[in-house]
């Protein structure tokens, strides 16, 4: 059997507490093959545990420190790297606007299926197009500003930190 263990700021990059529990859990289930998907704060984090043989793969997803999409997973998220202004304007900008609209609505008025569809389409877009180039374009900045300016932030439950 194969299983995915998702960790955040813990195993196998931080010692103690939850990390110790994760290590004991995995070690005790030797018949299960684990992939450990770890959200880490630092892209240069070192593994702090000797991983049991049933950990077949670790994937570290740094939250800060990288600029290129393929750096996040050792190449698992490869892109064709296209840089197409027309596709950016006709495909990406409307999708990104929908994505921003849904995440800024709040739980009371969000449309989860619309958000899921947008995320899926953004994923497919980035399989074909250059992430870094896309996210640095003026069009993306403009749609982001327009989307956030269209909301009355004083009435929202989202803090400035969450918006960032």
List, in sequence order, every residue forming a beta bridge with 4; answer none if it has no partner. Answer: 35
Angstrom distance (rounded) from CA 82 to CA 86: 11
From 65, 95, 118, give the residue that closes a domain: 65
| H/E element, 35 | strand 33-40
Shared domain check, 96 and 51: no
97 occurs within a structural domain: yes
In which domain, by residue range, is 42 found?
Answer: 2-65
Q: Which residue has the higher pLDDT, 146 or 73?
A: 146
Write the pLDDT tens digit of every residue in 128-149: 998 888 989 999 999 988 887 7
Give how many domains the chain has, as a whole number.
2
With CA atoms as reference, report the closest residue to 85 among 138, 127, 36, 44.
138
Shared domain check, 37 and 6: yes
99 occurs within a structural domain: yes
Write the pLDDT tens digit of every residue in 31-48: 999 999 999 887 777 899
150 occurs within a structural domain: yes
76 occurs within a structural domain: no
Shared domain check, 21 and 60: yes
35 occurs within a structural domain: yes
């Amino acid at each position: 059997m194969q299983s995915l263990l998702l960790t955040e700021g813990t195993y196998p990059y931080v010692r103690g507490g939850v990390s110790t529990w994760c290590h004991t859990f995995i070690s005790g289930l030797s018949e299960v093959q684990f992939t450990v998907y770890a959200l880490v704060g630092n892209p240069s984090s070192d593994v702090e545990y000797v991983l049991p043989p049933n950990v077949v793969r670790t994937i570290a997803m740094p939250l800060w420190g990288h600029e290129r999409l393929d750096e996040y997973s050792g190449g698992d998220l490869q892109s064709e790297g296209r840089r197409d202004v027309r596709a950016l304007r006709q495909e990406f900008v409307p999708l990104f606007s929908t994505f921003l609209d849904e995440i800024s609505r709040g739980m009371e008025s969000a449309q989860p299926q619309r958000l899921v569809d947008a995320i899926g389409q953004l994923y497919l877009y980035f399989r074909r197009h250059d992430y870094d180039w896309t996210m640095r374009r003026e069009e993306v900045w403009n749609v982001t500003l327009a989307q956030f300016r269209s909301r009355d932030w004083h009435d929202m439950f989202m803090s400035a930190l969450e918006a960032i």
